[in-house]
Structure 1
């Protein structure tokens, strides 16, 4: 891809900040989960059902957001979605009944998912305008937001209470949103995309690549939604430290995603994916078999290093399948991938009811071995000529 124009522009800074804001809210949710569960007196199975509602909200509103993007453009949709999403963290704090909790978490997951689709679409438009790749760094900003949200969440809850934490995060997020709003890249609608997204291929290749994305994102979702409870309930971590499970994971993921494009161009997508799958396997084993909080955090950090570039490679491969329109292949891969981070954590709740979260994380490591077995499919993520260029380097 050409490197025309400046490396940093106002529109790139704005879309990166949108990714950061979305990640900040998701990260802030991680240490709030035990508080949410206690306030509604939920069992692990009950919490799993609530997380299922979160996933339902996301997958219902994501395609609606896609249709609105085709009609109005990503800029308008992402602004509305972000403005509505940021206060939902407060709604999760104010609920005192199961039904109110279900509505609050549906809105949190749904509007957050709509913002996710819109900000990714806006990032694509910024890439086109700049003629350079920025998607990896945008996802790194999302991970950075998750890191800050999860790392500060437990501390803020301990010193300010759940409501004080929610109001602080929402207020800071809205303030940043209004600062960047004038800089968000304004794009034209693309009504032709709507028809293309409705088609699904019969070829097994995009579905197999989708499994790579799915098995890469299931561990990420399990750490986000269950990491705090694992540290608190099974490793006896205090509330102030409970959010650091996803924080350690996000820190490692953020660093590696900022370097992800360079690593992949140097080693190739297949070799990078294989190395990442092995690292993820080792990290999840360490986290699941950890005797104390420190070892668990190290394991989650190692897992973050491995998983960081697995999903971007899968998405890139899905959009570059020979003989298949990029939008069609990518729609399959992203749908399967996001279902892993949205729905798998709810199933984990039911499984954990009869086993333990330590067993869950140990078992999740096996998914990385499946990714390793399918890693040859990552060759579709390499641009034409990359292999020859590395061979001549």
Structure 2
């Protein structure tokens, strides 16, 4: 009888542990999104403090991407050695205060160092939290990636929606201290609940092999063209509303807020929608919706219409990236680590580097033209949507 009770209690304890681990990894996504969202309304202030032109800001955003490009692979190596749990704890602890560093700079060189660290450590946290989410998925034997990315979008929503107001009331430094302080408090609360995984030496060897199949690279293009519009709204949405549509500072952060609100809502429903419609049909519908939203945002005559357009684009783009990530990790005959590393690297390069290129384009055209042109990328996603069939295999795990 005692043995039966013990056997019954063990799964229950394990279930509670997995539930806590899922909550913890969701909170990590929220924290990363919170910092990125808080950065959006600070961008015009950062540019003004350093007297940067649009091209100059584009260079700074390129430095942001370089930081991520350099530190993301390093994070991957450390995850293979020590596990995602240990790595995500270290990088999250160092990432949260970087928002304060961005506020204190008064020279171009100091600004470059600050944004390098913000992009680099933030990118390392991104890799580590996604790796931890994969480990939680394996333990639960079902997908949670869409909901994790929903919490990232929710964090972006909170950070961007409150940023302009907090800056107007408390000033840039007060805003940064509040965001970093709240973020650190939440991190310390969830830290003991983070899923403790073990490195996999065999997978480490597999990841070192270079994939020759074109399939992961094509799926990577789907992720890339899905994330370029997201990056352009994050880094240029506030300037677009302020400079081209005459929005006040308190409202400038609402571009990414509207986008993030719609994206978060749809990502929470993402797994259910995919189960009902299938990954291919879901991706096609999402690509069509994002095309319409970007065109509306780019051609908007005023702030209200632009926000509606960004919201529609958020609905469309919401599940494009999670579907691409799931497809990359379920390519037949290819180890999940290989496919996922290619897809995520290509995808994140869109959100990291494309905004810097947009700065140079905007210098000679307009951000209105940029957003209208970005809609064409979703048509490429539509053309490649058949590749999403590999994402459906996650339900068979």
Instruction: Give, in angstroms, the shift of residue 7 of structure 1.
Output: 10
2:78 corresponding residue in structure 1? 68
Query: In structure 1, what is the Cα distance between the partners aligned to 2:203 and 2:141?
Result: 21
Q: Identify the match of residue 157 of structure 1 among 164, 167, 180.
A: 167
Q: Which runs of 5+ in 2 are unaligned?
A: 1-12
Instruction: Give, in angstroms, the shift of residue 99 of structure 1.
Output: 0.5
Q: Deviations over 1:273-320 (max 9, x none)?
A: 110000000000000000000000000000000000111111111112
Change in CA separation of 1:8 and 1:319 when aligned onto 2, cut-off 3 Å: closer
Query: Is 2:92 aligned against 1:77?
Result: no
Contact 1:217 1:341 in 2 (8 A): yes
Instruction: Give, in angstroms, the shift of residue 5 of structure 1.
Output: 3.9
Q: Deviations over 1:56-79 (max 9, x none)?
A: 101110111111111111111111
Per mean C-alpha deviation after superposition, the further-off stretch among 125-134 and 340-349 is 125-134
2:134 corresponding residue in structure 1? 124
Instruction: Give, in angstroms, the shift of residue 19 of structure 1.
Output: 0.7
Q: Deviations over 1:231-259 (max 9, x none)?
A: 00000000000000000000000000000
Q: Deviations over 1:74-127 (max 9, x none)?
A: 111111101000000000000000000000000000000111111111112222
Q: Deviations over 1:150-200 (max 9, x none)?
A: 000001011110000000000000011111111111122223333322222
Contact 2:27 2:190 in 1 (8 A): yes
Query: Is 2:29 aligned against 1:19?
Result: yes
Contact 2:41 2:160 in 1 (8 A): yes
TM-score of the superposition, structure 1-length normalised? 0.95
Count of equivalent residues:
384
Instruction: Give, in angstroms, the shift of residue 6 of structure 1.
Output: 5.9
Contact 1:4 1:132 in 2 (8 A): no
Contact 1:70 1:192 in 2 (8 A): no
Instruction: Give, in angstroms, the shift of residue 43 of structure 1.
Output: 0.5
Task: Give the secondary structure class of the aligned counterpart of 2:14.
Answer: coil
Contact 1:51 1:345 in 2 (8 A): yes
Query: In structure 1, what is the Cα distance between the partners aligned to 2:60 and 2:366?
Result: 19
Contact 1:4 1:131 in 2 (8 A): no
1:279 corresponding residue in structure 2? 289
Contact 1:58 1:109 in 2 (8 A): yes
Query: In structure 2, what is the Cα distance between the partners aligned to 1:318 and 1:136?
Result: 14
Contact 1:28 1:150 in 2 (8 A): yes
Per mean C-alpha deviation after superposition, the further-off stretch among 249-258 and 114-123 is 114-123
Instruction: Give, in angstroms, the shift of residue 209 of structure 1.
Output: 1.1
Contact 1:206 1:333 in 2 (8 A): yes
Change in CA separation of 1:370 and 1:79 when aligned onto 2, cut-off 3 Å: same
Query: In structure 2, what is the Cα distance between the partners aligned to 1:261 and 1:220?
Result: 20
Per mean C-alpha deviation after superposition, the further-off stretch among 23-32 and 205-214 is 205-214
Instruction: Give, in angstroms, the shift of residue 381 of structure 1.
Output: 1.2
Contact 2:163 2:253 in 1 (8 A): yes
Query: In structure 2, what is the Cα distance between the partners aligned to 1:233 and 1:18?
Result: 33
Query: In structure 2, what is the Cα distance between the partners aligned to 1:177 and 1:212?
Result: 32
Query: In structure 2, what is the Cα distance between the partners aligned to 1:230 and 1:51?
Result: 16
Q: Which runs of 5+ in 1 are unaligned?
A: 385-391
TM-score of the superposition, structure 2-length normalised? 0.94
Task: Give the secondary structure class of the aligned counterpart of 1:207.
Answer: helix
Query: In structure 2, what is the Cα distance between the partners aligned to 1:8 and 1:234?
Result: 48
Task: Give the secondary structure class of the aligned counterpart of 2:364.
Answer: coil
Contact 2:18 2:140 in 1 (8 A): no
Superposition RMSD in Å? 2.0
Query: In structure 2, what is the Cα distance between the partners aligned to 1:6 and 1:185?
Result: 12
Instruction: Give, in angstroms, the shift of residue 139 of structure 1.
Output: 0.8
Per mean C-alpha deviation after superposition, the further-off stretch among 66-75 and 299-308 is 66-75
Task: Give the secondary structure class of the aligned counterpart of 1:8.
Answer: helix
Contact 1:257 1:309 in 2 (8 A): yes
Per mean C-alpha deviation after superposition, the further-off stretch among 196-205 and 305-314 is 196-205
Change in CA separation of 1:26 and 1:211 when aligned onto 2, cut-off 3 Å: same
Contact 2:287 2:317 in 1 (8 A): yes
Query: Is 2:351 aligned against 1:376?
Result: no
Task: Give the secondary structure class of the aligned counterpart of 1:200.
Answer: coil
Contact 2:18 2:136 in 1 (8 A): no
Contact 2:146 2:322 in 1 (8 A): yes
Task: Give the secondary structure class of the aligned counterpart of 2:66.
Answer: helix
Q: Deviations over 1:125-151 (max 9, x none)?
A: 222223332221111111000000000
Contact 1:20 1:143 in 2 (8 A): yes
Instruction: Give, in angstroms, the shift of residue 201 of structure 1.
Output: 1.6
